Structure 1
Amino acid sequence: MELRQLQYFVHVARMQHVTKAAEELHVAQSAVSRQIHRLEEELGVSLFMQKGRNVQLTPVGQLFLRRVESIMQDLDRAVDEIHEFFDPELGEIRLGFPHSLGIHLIPQVIAAFRLRHPNVKFRFKQGMFASLIRDVIEAEVDLAFISPLPDKNERVCGEIVLTESLYAILPLNHPLAGEDEIELSQLKEDTFVLFRDGYSLRPIVWDACRAAGFVPRIGFEGEETDTIRGLVAAGMGVSLLPEMALSHTSSIIMPAIVKLKDPGVTRTIALIRRAGEKPSTVVRLFHDFLLDYFRDMNPR
Structure 2
Amino acid sequence: MELRQLYYFVKVAKKEHVTQAAEELHVAQSAVSRQIHQLEEELGAKLFLQKGRNLQLTPVGQLFMRRAEAILADLERAIMEVHEFLDPEKGEIRLGFPHSLGISLIPNVVSAFRKLHPNVKFRFKQGMYPSLIKDVMRGEVDLAFVSPFPEEHDHITGEKVLTEELFAILPPNHPLAGVDAIDLIQLKDETFVMFSPGYSLRPIVWDACLEAGFTPNIGFEGEETDTIRGLVAAGMGVSLLPEMALYATGPLQPVKVAVRSPRVMRTIGLIHRPNEKLPLVAKVFQKFLLEFFECSGKGNEGKLRGGG
Query: Which digits, 9 at most, give the CA deviation of each residue in 1:155-190, with x for residues without a partner?
Result: 111111111111111112222111111111111121
Distance 1:84 1:210, change over 3 A: same
Alignment partner of 1:73: what SS?
helix
Aligned pairs (5 A) from 1:128-207? 128-207=128-207
Q: Which stretches in structure 2 are left out of the alignment for 5+ residues?
A: 300-308
Alignment partner of 2:111: what SS?
helix
Q: What's 1:231 paired with?
A: 231
Q: What's 1:10 paired with?
A: 6
Q: Distance in 2 between matches of 1:124 and 1:162?
A: 20
Query: Which digits, 9 at most, give the CA deviation of each residue in 1:220-261, with x for residues without a partner?
Result: 1111111111111111111111111112x1121112211111
Contact 2:162 2:268 in 1 (8 A): yes
Q: Distance in 2 between matches of 1:163 and 1:50?
A: 45
Alignment partner of 1:158: what SS?
strand
Q: Which stretches in structure 1 are left out of the alignment for 5+ residues?
A: none
Q: What's 1:108 paired with?
A: 108
Q: Distance in 2 between matches of 1:254 and 1:47?
A: 56
Query: Which digits, 9 at most, give the CA deviation of each residue in 1:128-169, with x for residues without a partner?
Result: 111111111112211111101223431111111111111111
Q: What's 1:250 paired with?
A: 249
Q: Distance in 1 between matches of 2:263 and 2:47?
A: 60
Distance 1:50 1:160, change over 3 A: closer
Alignment partner of 1:79: what SS?
helix
Q: Distance in 1 between matches of 2:189 and 2:47?
A: 61
The residue identity in structure 2 corresponding to 1:46 is G
TM-score (norm 2): 0.81
Contact 1:47 1:58 in 2 (8 A): no
Q: What's 1:88 paired with?
A: 88
Contact 2:233 2:252 in 1 (8 A): yes
Contact 1:128 1:198 in 2 (8 A): yes
Q: What's 2:73 paired with?
A: 73
Alignment partner of 1:264: what SS?
coil
Q: Distance in 1 between matches of 2:168 and 2:48?
A: 59
Q: What's 2:214 paired with?
A: 214
Q: How far off is 1:299 after superposition?
A: 6.0
Q: How far off is 1:8 after superposition?
A: 4.3
Q: How many residues align?
A: 281
Q: Alignment identity in percent? A: 58
Contact 2:129 2:146 in 1 (8 A): yes
Distance 1:145 1:57, change over 3 A: closer
Q: What's 1:289 paired with?
A: 288
Q: What's 1:277 paired with?
A: 276
Q: Distance in 2 between matches of 1:165 and 1:269?
A: 11
Contact 1:192 1:216 in 2 (8 A): yes
Q: How far off is 1:104 after superposition?
A: 0.7
Distance 1:262 1:297, change over 3 A: farther
The residue identity in structure 1 corresponding to 2:193 is V
Distance 1:238 1:74, change over 3 A: same
Distance 1:68 1:168, change over 3 A: closer
The residue identity in structure 2 corresponding to 1:250 is T
Alignment partner of 2:148: what SS?
coil
Q: Distance in 2 between matches of 1:126 and 1:255?
A: 25
Distance 1:207 1:188, change over 3 A: same
The residue identity in structure 2 corresponding to 1:63 is L
Contact 2:182 2:261 in 1 (8 A): no
Query: Which digits, 9 at most, give the CA deviation of each residue in 1:205-229, with x for residues without a partner?
Result: 1111111111111111111111111
Contact 2:47 2:61 in 1 (8 A): no
What stretches of structure 1 move > 4 A for 4+ residues in a row? Answer: 14-17, 47-52, 55-62
Q: How far off is 1:69 after superposition?
A: 3.5
Q: How far off is 1:92 after superposition?
A: 0.5
Q: How far off is 1:7 after superposition?
A: 1.2
Contact 1:185 1:209 in 2 (8 A): yes
TM-score (norm 1): 0.83
